[in-house]
Amino acid sequence: MKPNNTTCDCETDAPLVHALFTIHHLMMRVGDRLTAPHGLTASRWMLLCALDRRGDSATVSDLAEEQMMSVQAISRMLVTMVDEGLVTKQNRAGCGRTAFVSLTGRGHEAVSVLRQLGESFSTRFLEGLEGEGTARVQADLGRLIDNLQRYENELTTSRESEATARDKEFA
């Protein structure tokens, strides 16, 4: 059967986008394999490191925003991590229902192990990209991130404008 000319072939149509998706998925798989002996996953690795960076001021919504995940997904991970003694969640007086998350002693120990795994991961991942090569890739990826954030903002603004126009039309 002859392929339909209207089909999307991401490898052909957008090879860089396909490569970036592939890198993401491979990074997550490798991260899962590295962390599995420690009872973790790549997603929980990133969450523990985010908590380490933020200290005791991390809220569930802050973590969701930083990790680009839903509040529900972060909450599910945190429930498991609380049960395992890696983190604590608490409310603070005057902050309503906002839950603050912090690492426990066991969580700090896990972060120490994750730092070692991260060094090994980075060395293997960046193999062959020394000095200027690494800096160039980092700069280019930063540019792509900026472009996508700007595009996302434009789409959000456009959708909000469309919703406002629909509301006025039906008012």
Bridge partners, residue 99, by sequence: 91
Place of tokens 């394999």: 33
Specify the pLDDT at position 162. Answer: 75
Alpha carbons 54 and 103: distance in angstroms, whole number = 10
Alpha carbons 55 and 58: distance in angstroms, whole number = 7
Specify the pLDDT at position 28. Answer: 96
User: Domain residues of the chain, as ranges?
Assistant: 14-125, 130-171
Average pLDDT of each block of 10 consecutive residues along the chain (171 residues)?
57 85 96 95 94 88 92 94 94 78 95 95 91 90 94 88 73 66
CATH 1.10.10.10 describes domain 14-125 = yes
Handedness of CA 147, 149, 152, 153 (dihedral sign): negative
